Amino acid sequence: MSKFEEIDDPRRAWLIRALSTGMLAAGWDAVQAQSILGSKPAKLPEGQSVFSTSGDVQVNNKPADKSTLIKPGDTVQTGPNSQVVFAVGTHAMILRGGSTLTIQQASLAQDSKLSSVIAGLQLLTGKLLSVSRNSPMTVKTSTATVGIRGTGFYIEADPAQTYFCTCYGMTQVQATDDPESHETVAASHHDRPLYIVKDGGAGRNIRNAPFVNHTDQELALIEAIVGRTTPFVFGKDAYSGPRKTY
């Protein structure tokens, strides 16, 4: 099976293939790309949260579309084979199918200047790609608690295991029920993906993992919708692995 066939959304597989072969850079099929992404990647206008939706997307149990405002305190859910690309303040995210994400408010969020400040993210189940800058927060799953210092990361969560990749930046990773299992990761380009599990024993619940299910192009997309670029330059290989081999 090819690396593109492993991607669950066929439209995303097509887009990644197009990006990797340079078709979009050459303007080969911008119409098809726009139909997949919803619009050309650019900084979202003031007051707009959602860049694109696909399939069943709900915010606080109500159907969401490009006019939906997403803010701290909200819960975002996606059905099977669904996806939403959105931003909250300076944070931008892709939430994949079968996911439930709660965006936690900062304690002083009643101050209007802090209304878009995220204190943390709780991913009960699902898959999330996220980018931010200089915005400390905590990401929690059933097996992991991760301190974020403003970085790019990808996470997959289920009740028994968490996959976590620090795409760039610094994170502090700890197994939720085992304080002895903890790691500080400083990455420039997907350098140290990890599994965080429940059953490894004291001090052994964090393990090395492969690079899976996210791309540099997707990171570039969500950085673009908040007016930034990735901190690394990449070529046409859209699905290259991390710098290190495990």
Q: What mean pLDDT comes out for the span 3-25?
A: 47
- Does residue 244 lie within any of the structural domains? no
Strand partners, 148: 137, 171
Same domain, 186 and 205: yes
Same-domain pairing of 137 and 31:
no
72 and 189 share a domain?
yes
Structure confidence at residue 241 as a pLDDT band (50, 70, 90): very low
Residue 232 lies in a domain: no
Q: Residue 207: name the closest of 192, 187, 222 by CA.
A: 192
The reply to whether 59 and 125 lie within a common domain is yes
Residue 15 in domain: yes
Higher pLDDT pick, 47 / 115: 47
- CA dist., res. 216 & res. 71, Å (int): 26
Note the pLDDT tens digit of each residue in 48-76.
999 999 999 999 999 999 999 999 999 99
Is 139 within the bounds of a domain? yes
% of the chain beyond a pLDDT of 90: 69
Question: Is residue 113 pLDDT above 70, yes or no?
Answer: no
User: Is 81 inside a domain boundary?
Assistant: yes
How many domains does one find in the chain?
Answer: 2
Work out the mean pLDDT of the chain and round it to a whole number.
83
Do 25 and 123 sit in the same domain of this protein? no
Structural domain of 211: 47-224
| Span 66-90, average pLDDT | 97
152 with 79, same domain: the answer is yes
pLDDT in tens, 202-222: 999 999 999 999 999 999 999
Q: What is the mean pLDDT of residues 120-144?
A: 96
pLDDT value of residue 240: 42
Least confident of 1-5, 55-59, 137-141: 1-5
Q: Comparing C-alpha atoms, which of 222, 243, 232, 240 is closest to residue 95?
A: 222
Instruction: Identify whether residues 139 and 178 lie together within a single domain.
Output: yes
130 part of a folded domain: yes
> Which amino acid is residue 31, in one-letter code?
V
Same-domain status, 54 and 92: yes
SS3 assignment, position 215 = coil
Tell me, what's the pLDDT at 139?
98
Residue 111: how many other CB atoms lie within 10 Å: 9
Q: Judge whether 219 lies within some domain.
A: yes
Do 129 and 208 share a domain, yes or no? yes
**What pLDDT is recorded for position 108?**
59
Query: Do 21 and 90 have their domain in common?
Result: no
Residue 237 lies in a domain: no
Q: Is the pLDDT of residue 106 over 50?
A: yes
Domain match, 152 and 173 both: yes
The answer on 51 and 33 residing in a single domain is no
Residue 33 has pLDDT above 90, yes or no: no
User: Quick check: 167 and 154 in contact, CB under 8 A?
Assistant: yes
For residue 199, pLDDT over 50 is answered with yes
Domain containing 140 — which CATH number?
Answer: 2.60.120.1440
Looking at residues 84-98, what average pLDDT do you find? 97
